[in-house]
Chains A and B, each alone.
Chain A
């Protein structure tokens, strides 16, 4: 069910419905993480406008590219139930999205603009900030996986199965993403700069909240136990990380997780899983970095090496 899948690169909100709705309407004016709880079929358009500021923002990597306010875009219809139809639909969307990217000058121009860090901070006078949290659950569009030998740690396909929205995101990279890259290439923007889609979050994530992002995530605040951060790129927490962090979620094992205070319940980098030791008494107080070395997730103190190490 495409519609249930969070547009990749977008953060969604899953607070109480009333709250979400409020934040959605508010998001029309304020730069914010906005979300509607209505389904696509109802709204006839994509779910999330991450910019929400009315300007024609950067393209979100979703199918199709999220229409910014005032821009006329064909509404996306409800979801086709069968996978085959879905694929056909995806292809259609993809073609549409490409046209849009090609047609929309501001969109392509903004790719070339400065590092795309998103303004997600709620306005100071805003009512309670929207809860960054789980997307409406991706419905089981994937059939159960055929039986495999039982392995304690997740395999690569596990990752894809567990995060279908991300595997979808990966597929999108070759569709919408490709269009973005083409547009970027036309402007002479290096591919790396486009891929470095970084989300800046200035708030705490509490138990039960989940942040999923296609790209890197920087959180200025704490990630408490029971909260989850899942990103296809790096995760940096300027604060305490006590929950679960999954960096490189579609398989990039170069990804890192860095935090000022790194005490996660579990760390995942690409398809590697590390957990805190049962008798954990670590005295080290400084910032630390977790990464994959020799097939294991290791945590080491963060050292400034003029960008060589990180």
Chain B
């Protein structure tokens, strides 16, 4: 029986879809069978980030309406055999699906997959309610900005009200330099406010934009620190204990100085 995890944030643009694609890819790289569900009906993006846009024939709405079988709608990733995407419909909206239908869908997928990761749409309306309906646990993703943290707090409250077990927190787009200068919320600031378990810190990385535009999840990259962070989150989800990586990269200058001074 698999586990169903929803990735949500409340605020838009904090990296839900990117996180879904990368955490899903990381879990698949670890040999788990993973299904990603794009619950953002009408504004689908997960397929683009995974580079599977042109393979979509059926979508989530077709499945719940019974126009096709679940297996027909699942798009297999072009890089890995154990990663599947259930795309959202683009020409419909959130009201096309009900929470009950999502619950049924997730239960169906749980029999087949080790992990089901749901990409939740922004907002707290029906799209959100649909996305969390079938989830066993949630990852709340936020950036170190007051508005994003405030929205995340609201989401945590809603998740508790919906009877989900305490969510995990992913802090995205952290810029260590700014944090050091005191220009950005510190990690402890955020965890103090939200008081939920921290499962990942993802540093800001330009490569994220490059990879999403190319449709190749960053998780495959070995040079990117953000990719490393995503892989670590995946390992933590699988129950491993992984220390948080040092945020401040040992830059070139200190290394050079060390080398010169000896």
Contacts and interface: CB of A to CB of B under 8 A. Distances in A.
A273 B57 contact: yes
Contacts of B66: 140, 142-145
A266 B90 contact: no
A143 B68 CA distance: 10
Contact of A161 (B55, B68, B91): B68
Interface in A109-144: 133-134, 137, 139-140, 142-144
Contacts of A210: 91
B51 interface: yes
B92 A134 contact: yes
Contact of B91 (A133, A145, A225, A276): A133
B104 to A, nearest CB: 13
Given A145-B69, A162-B62, A162-B68, A137 B51 contact: no
A194 to B, nearest CB: 30
Interface in B56-99: 56-58, 61-62, 65-69, 71-72, 78, 90-92, 96
B42 A144 contact: no
A134 B54 CA distance: 20
B53 A225 contact: yes
Contact of A208 (B51, B61, B68, B91): B91
Contact of B69 (A143, A144, A153): A144
Given A265-B54, A266-B56, A278 B67 contact: no
A154 B67 CA distance: 12
A105 B69 CA distance: 47
A140 B54 contact: no
B58 A276 contact: no
A198 interface: no
A140 B57 contact: no
Given A137-B96, A144-B69, A209-B91, A266 B42 contact: no
A226 interface: yes
Given A134-B91, A162-B62, A265-B54, 9 more contacts: A133-B91, A142-B66, A150-B71, A208-B90, A210-B91, A226-B90, A228-B90, A266-B57, A278-B78
25 contacts: A134-B91, A137-B65, A137-B96, A139-B65, A140-B65, A142-B67, A143-B66, A144-B66, A145-B68, A150-B72, A153-B57, A154-B57, A158-B68, A161-B67, A161-B68, A208-B42, A208-B43, A208-B90, A208-B91, A265-B53, A266-B54, A266-B56, A275-B55, A276-B54, A278-B54
> Top 4 closest A-B pairs, CB basis?
A275-B54, A144-B66, A210-B91, A140-B65
